[in-house]
Amino acid sequence: MCFIFLLAMPLKVDAAPAVEAPSYILMESSTGQIICEQNADERRSPASITKIMTLLVIFDHIGTGRVQLDSEVMTSAYAKSMGGSQVFLEEGEIQTLDTIIKCIAVASGNDASVAAAEFIAGSEQEFVNLMNQRAEDMGLTNTHFEDCCGLSESDNHYTSAKDVALMSRELITKYPQILDYTKIWMEDITHVTRQGTSNFTLSSTNKLLKMYDFTTGLKTGSTSKALYCLSATANKDNIDLIAVVMASPSNKSRFQDAMTLLNYGYSVSALYEDANEETLPTIPVKGGVQDEAALIFKGPFRYLDIAGSDLNSIEKTISLSPLLTAPVNRGDAVGEAVYTLNGQRIGSVSILSDVTIDKAGYKDILKKVWGLYCSL
């Protein structure tokens, strides 16, 4: 597992220029650093970028093993009845969950979204409850869903650019395999129904895939109420950016807005990474069945600089407890690696015990004494 550590005091620079969307945000994925934003907490209708949360809940269920990619999903009459973007699933048609995910991620299929929701939760409403619970668990205070595909015109179906960026970040960092789907430009699926067998070509709604070389995803959305929305993900020079625009005035402008933000981000960003793979010293343990505890870093450290700093000047200091007292549990924090730049703390990584050491009993103490005697 990769652990990401946020900075105690995030830096920001002035908003990127020439963006038509009234609400937007640009975020670096691995650190969660906000590079620029405007009206990012403003609640807006999200249209089909709702499906970012739909996909997140689907992958949560795959991750726990409750469903599998080869699970069979049957389309109901209700799912078939969805309007807007669709892949024309027929009532009773069976597709694998893998294919259903492609239909959602590539072609923004509303029918596929509802079919997946019913398969996982029994009904769309129960699935929406899971979406809202996931949003609450993530602390997304400006988000509430009333359907799983974004067709709702209700004022009670809303999110914000920042919340979309956060759910996008959660999706691509926790389940990076989603990018295998969102990078698809065109792919055929096969409908097998009572009427026979036919091929259908999924075509990506994300035109950024052809307009911007570094695009990896993620999701488009548009309705008359939401106007044109986009959560765009890209990777360049090992830096993953997320650009979210909401309520762009036209289909063309949302993609141009996203490219403007991404280009801006890559022009000002430099990422410092420390894998933290070096061997750490042991710490003596008092009163334990073992005398020393082996240590590990909790994970790597990443720092995004947008101020043009000399990242070679970053210094790392290891701070450890001089002595531990048993019992010690594996995973207990026993120190930290502190990173500073020009004398200012920019972040830290916890150092953990890599072993569990129980408190020594009477027999353990006798065994140690006997071992010492025999070594004389």
List active site positions: 48, 51, 108
In three-state secondary structure terms, 194 is coil
How far, in Å, CA of 334 to CA of 323, rounded?
A: 9
Long-range contacts of 5-8 (CB under 8 A, 24+ apart): 5/31, 5/299, 5/301, 5/302, 5/347, 5/348, 5/349, 6/31, 6/32, 6/33, 6/347, 7/31, 7/33, 7/303, 7/346, 7/347, 8/345, 8/347
Q: Give the other-Cβ count within 10 Å of 331's Cβ.
A: 13
Write the CA distances from 286 to 290, 292, 358, 360, 369, integer angstroms. Answer: 9, 9, 11, 9, 15
Residue 182 identity (one-letter amino acid): T
Write the CA distances from 303 to 233, 313, 316, 348, integer angstroms. Answer: 19, 13, 13, 10
In order, the DSSP letters of 208-235 are: HHHH-TTEEEEEEEEETTTEEEEEEEEE
How far, in Å, CA of 113 to CA of 83, rounded?
A: 12
Contacts of 15 (CB under 8 A, 6+ apart): 36, 37, 38
Residue 147 identity (one-letter amino acid): D
How far, in Å, CA of 269 to CA of 266, rounded?
A: 5
Residue 225 identity (one-letter amino acid): K
In three-state secondary structure terms, 71 is coil
Cα separation of the two ends of the chain: 46
In three-state secondary structure terms, 372 is helix
Q: Give the other-Cβ count within 10 Å of 17's Cβ.
A: 8
Tokens standing for residue 327 = 């019992």
List the 283-286 sheet strands across, edge first.
292-293, 283-286, 324-325
